[in-house]
Structure 1
Amino acid sequence: MKTASQKTEAASNASGFQLPPLAAYIHIPWCVRKCPYCDFNSHAAGSELPEEAYIDALLADLDHDLEHVHGRELTSIFFGGGTPSLFSANTIGRLLDGMEERVHFARDIEITLEANPGTFEQAKFAAYRQLGINRLSIGVQSFQEAKLKALGRIHNGDEAIRAADMARKAGFDNFNLDLMHGLPDQSLDDALEDLRTAMDQGPTHLSWYQLTMEPNTVFWNQPPELPEDDILWDIQEAGQSLLAENGYAQYEVSAYARGGLRARHNLNYWTFGDFLGIGAGAHAKLSSPEGRIIRTWKTRLPKDYLDSSKHFQAGERALTSDELPFEFLMNVLRLTDGVPSTLFTQRTGLPLSLLAAARSEAEARNLMLADPQRLVATAEGQLFLNDLLQHFLP
C-alpha cells in the first residue's frame, strides 16, 4: 500500500507538476524619507529603528512559514524595502544565521541587499560582504541634481558615484544600479547622459525602467509634467541601443546584464518559482508537492507586525486552474527569450494545450513567436505586454 507521500508524488508526476526552486524575500520597511513616486510598503524611520525586535519578528515569521519549504534549499535571498542598508551588519548577520539554521542555503546562493547612496558607509558594506551578501542593488534613479530633487531623493549625483566606488572597494564584484527614465522635464540627452554615467561606474547589472504614476503616491495625486510619448519612445529606443553597444544584454523588460550576471532572484520570479515572503507587507508565492499554489501576504504596518498578539500573515489566496495560465505568462513573457514550453506544465500541472487557442490569436497579431518549443513574446509583444496578456485572461 502506498503512503500518503507516495500518493502525492504519484499525483504530482501524473500531472507533470514539479516543485519549483525556492527563494526568500525579506522586507525592511523603513526609509529615511518616503519618495513621492514610491508605492512600496515603506515608512519614514524615526530616530531609532527597532532592529533587534524586528529581527526577532522576522525569524518568528519564518518559523510559521517553514511548512512551505518541503525540504528545498534557498537558491537566493533578497533584502528589499524600504532601505535595508539602514540596518547594521550585526543585525543582518543575526538574521542570516537564524535563517540558515532553519532552511538550508544552496552552496552558490545569491544574497542581494538593496541600498541607497545616502545610506552608504564603506565600513558597513565591507561587513555586509563578510556576512556572505554577494550582490548589492543601489537605488540611484538619476545622477542629475534637478531630476533627483524632482524625485524627492536624499542623495546627489556625486554620492551616487561614490556609492558604486565604495561597493567595489567593499568587495562587491556583482552589483546593480537602479535607474529611471521618463522623469519630469527629461530630454533624450538627459536620459542618455544618465545611462552613460551609470555604465561608467562598471555595474554588472542595470535595472532601467520608466517612471510610472502609481495609486496611493504623492505623484498620483499631484502628477508632475512628464515627457511626451514621442520623447519617451525615443529614450527607450536610443537607450536600449546604447546599452547593447556597451555589452549590457537585455534579458527582461527592464533588466540588462553584463557578463551573463543576471539577477537570479528576479529570474526565479519571472520563471514562476516559489518564494517565501518575510517581513511587514511581504508577499509570497508557494507551492505544495501535490501542485496547490497559493499567494500569501503579511501584516503591512510595522507596529502591527511587531505586535506579538497579532498574526504575521494577513491573508492567503489559492490560485485556481483558470487563473494559472495568466499568472504564469504574466511573469515568463517579461523575459526576452521566454521559457521552454515544457515549463508551463512543470510549474502549473496543466497541459500546454490549454494555451493553444489564445496563443494562436497572439501569434496572428505578431505578439508571440510561433515557436512550439518556447513561450516567448515578439519584440512587439514585449512593448505591448498588456495587450498580449489580454489573450490569456481567465
Structure 2
Amino acid sequence: MLTNPPLSLYIHVPWCVRKCPYCDFNSHAVKNVESNQQTEFDLPETEYVDRLIEDLEHELPKVWGRRLHSIFIGGGTPSLLSPKSFDRLISAIRARLPFENDIEITMEANPGTFEAEKFRGFREAGINRLSIGVQSFNPSHLQKLGRIHNPEQAQAAAEFAHEAGFDSFNLDLMHGLPDQTLEQALSDLQTAIDLKPHHISWYQLTLEPNTLFYQQPPQLPHDEVLWDIQEAGQKLLAKHGYGQYETSAYAKSHKFRAKHNLNYWQFGDYLGIGAGAHGKITRLDLGQIHRTTKKRHPKDYLSGSINSISTDTPIPAHELPFEFMLNALRLLEGVPLSLFSQYTGQSLASVQDILHQAIEDGLLEDSKIQLQPTVKGALFLNELLERFIPIETDVQSSSGSANIQITQL
C-alpha cells in the first residue's frame, strides 16, 4: 500500500544573465537595461510571481492536509529577482500550505547578481539556506565556462552569506574543467574550504546534449587525471571535516545535509511550480504516483489559462522500481529497505531477483534492512542502476561513472 512521503516544493525561475555553454537547464538569457549608470534586467517579475502563486493554488487539491518539508528555488538565476518578490511569494506559500517547524528554504544564487544588502533581504524574506554557483575560482576556467563573475566576487559571495546571517549555505563547485590540472582542481577546492561553507557540492563537468559544449566539445582532462582529481579531492574534503553522503554532496555534519535533496533521493514527493518545473506526487486517493510538468518557455507559462500550462500523468507501474533506485542508490548510506514498498506500493518480491544478483556481484550490501550500494556499487553506479531499467525505457549511460541523468529539479 502506498504511503505519503515528505512533501517538498520546487520553484523554478527561468532567467539568467547569460546562458552558460555547459548548461542544459531550462534557462533563458534576460535583456539588460541601462538605468542611472546601473545594469537592470528586463523581467516580468510581478507577473511571474502572480503566476507562481496561481500555479501553486492549482496544485493544492493534490496535497490537501500535508505539510511542507522544504522549499527549493532554482533556475536560471533566482537571485535576479528582488527580495521584495520573494517575501511576497513565501508569504503566499505559507498562507496556503502549513510549514514544518524546521523547514529548509533554499535559493540558488550566482556571484555577480547580488550585493550584501540584497543577501540580507533574502534572509529577511524567510530564505534560510543559499546554494551559491561558484563553479571555479580560477579566472581562466570561469571564462571558459562562460561565467559572468570573477574569483573576487565568488569569494565575496561566501562572505556576504556569513554576514547576512545564513546559518547554512552551499558552494557549488565543478571539476574536470577544460584543460584543468590536478593542482588547479585542488586549489579550487581548498579555496572553497577556506571560505567555511557548511556544505559543498563538488561534481565533475559532463557534456550534456543541447548545450554548446556538446556541439563544440572543449578539451577535457584525460580519464587518469579525472580519477586523480576525484580521489585527491575526496581526501581533502574528508581531512577538513566534510562528510560525503551522496555522489557529489559533502556536509560538515548531518545538520547541514540538504533536506530538500535528501527528500528527492529518498523518493519523497515534491510540487513543482514555475516554467519547466517538474513534480512528483503520491495520490493515495487514486492509488498512483503522478508526474507533473509545466510549460518550459516563460512566455508560454505566463500566457493562457492556468489549466493549459501543465500536464499530469501517472508513472507506469513498471517504471517505479527504476525511478526509486535512480534516487535512493545515490545515497552512500542507502535508505531503509522498507521505503521501497511504502513509497512505490510494490512488493519487494518484484525486484528480489535483481537485488540478489547485485549482492552476488558485489554492487549492493547484503542487508535485510538497508538498501545500500557497496564501494564498488557507488563507483559503478550506472551498471547498478541499469539493472532496474524496464525494457521500454531508453537511458544512455557509460559504465564506471554515475552519469545517468536526473531531470534538474
Query: TM-score, structure 2 length as denominator?
Result: 0.91
Q: CA deviation at 1:358?
A: 0.3
The alpha-carbon distance between structure 1 residues 310 and 128, as it changes in their structure 2 partners (threshold 3 A), is closer
Tell me the residue number matched to 2:201: 207
State the 1:392 CA deviation.
Answer: 1.3
Please say if residues 298 and 312 of structure 1, whose CA atoms lie closer than 8 Å, have aligned partners that are also in contact.
no
Supply the distance in 2 between the matched residues of 1:367 and 1:150 (Cα, whole angstroms).
37
Correspondence for 1:32: 17
Q: Work out whether residues 301 and 309 of structure 2, in 8 Å CA contact, stay in contact via their aligned partners in 1.
A: no
Could you tell me whether the CA contact under 8 Å between 1:29 and 1:302 is conserved in 2?
Answer: yes
**Percent identical across equivalent pairs?**
58
Between 36-45 and 68-77, report the one with greater CA deviation. Answer: 68-77
Per the alignment, residue 361 of structure 1 pairs with: 357
**Does the aligned pair in 1 maintain the 2:112–2:148 contact within 8 Å?**
yes
1:237 counterpart = 2:231: yes
Letter in 2 for 1:31: C
Please point out which of 238, 252, 262 is paired with 1:258: 252
After TM superposition, give the deviation of residue 245 of structure 1 in Å: 0.8
Mapped pair 1:132 → 2:126: yes
The whole-number CA distance in structure 2 between the counterparts of 1:42 and 1:165 is: 27
Name the residue aligned to 1:321: 317
CA distance in 1, matches of 2:374, 2:305: 51
SS in 2 for 1:192: helix
Q: What aligned pairs does 1:288-299 form with structure 2 within 5 A after superposition? A: 288-290=283-285, 291-299=287-295
User: Could you state the TM-score of these two structures normalised by the residue count of structure 1?
Assistant: 0.94
- Is 1:346 the counterpart of 2:342 in the alignment? yes
CA distances 1:118-154 after superposition (whole Å, capped 9, x unpaired): 1121111101111221000000000000110010000
Equivalent position of 2:273 in the other structure:
278
Aligned to 1:22: 7
CA RMSD of aligned residues (A): 1.1
Aligned to 1:393: 389
Q: What SS class does the counterpart of residue 112 from structure 2 fall into?
A: helix
Corresponding residue SS for 1:119: coil
Write the distance in 2 (CA, Å) between the matches of 1:295 and 1:27.
16
C-alpha separation in 2, matches of 1:250 and 1:19: 28
Please state whether the residue corresponding to 2:280 is helix, strand or coil.
strand
**Mapped partners of 1:364, 1:242: distance in 2:** 33
Residue 185 of structure 1 aligns to a residue whose secondary structure is coil
Is 1:188 aligned with 2:182?
yes
User: Match for 1:115: what amino acid?
Assistant: A
Once residues 332 and 45 of structure 1 are traced to their aligned partners in structure 2, the CA distance between those partners, rounded to angstroms, is 36
47, 54, 59: which one pairs with 1:53? 47
The one-letter code sitting in structure 1 at the alignment partner of 2:264 is Y
**Structure 1 residue identity aligned to 2:289:** I
Equivalent residue of 1:322, what SS? helix
Residues in 2 aligned to 1:124 and 1:312: alpha-carbon distance in whole angstroms: 35
The 8 Å contact of residues 293 and 312 in structure 2, kept in 1 or not, is answered as yes
The equivalent residue for 1:380 is 376
Aligned-pair CA distance for 1:311: 4.1
Question: Counterparts of 2:308 and 2:185 in 1: how far apart (Å)?
Answer: 42
User: Which of 222, 227, 237 is equivalent to 1:228?
Assistant: 222
What is the match of residue 76 of structure 2? 82
User: What is the aligned partner in structure 2 of residue 8 from structure 1?
Assistant: none
2:282, 2:290 within 8 Å by CA — same for their partners in 1? yes
Equivalent pair of 1:43/1:82 in contact (CA under 8 Å): yes
Distance 1:308 1:125 in 2: 34
Q: 2:301 aligned with 1:301, yes or no?
A: no
Q: Spell out the pairing of 1:93-132 with structure 2 (5 A cutoff).
A: 93-132=87-126
Q: In the alignment, is the contact (CA less than 8 A) between 1:23 and 1:276 conserved in 2?
A: yes
Please state whether the residue corresponding to 1:392 is helix, strand or coil.
coil
- Check the 8 A contact 1:369/1:377 in 2, yes or no: yes
CA distance in structure 2 between the aligned counterparts of 1:238 and 1:312, rounded to whole angstroms: 50
Instruction: Give the C-alpha shift of residue 366 in structure 1.
Output: 1.1
2:282: which partner in 1?
A: 287
- Residue 310 of structure 1 deviates from its aligned partner by 6.4
Q: Deviation string for 1:73-124 (max 9, x for gaps)?
A: 1110000000000000111111111111111111111000100011121111
Deviation at 1:359? 0.7
Residue 157 of structure 1 aligns with which residue? 151
The verdict on how the C-alpha distance between 1:312 and 1:133 changes in structure 2, with shifts beyond 3 A counting, is farther
- Quote the Cα distance in structure 2 between the aligned partners of 1:101 and 1:146: 46
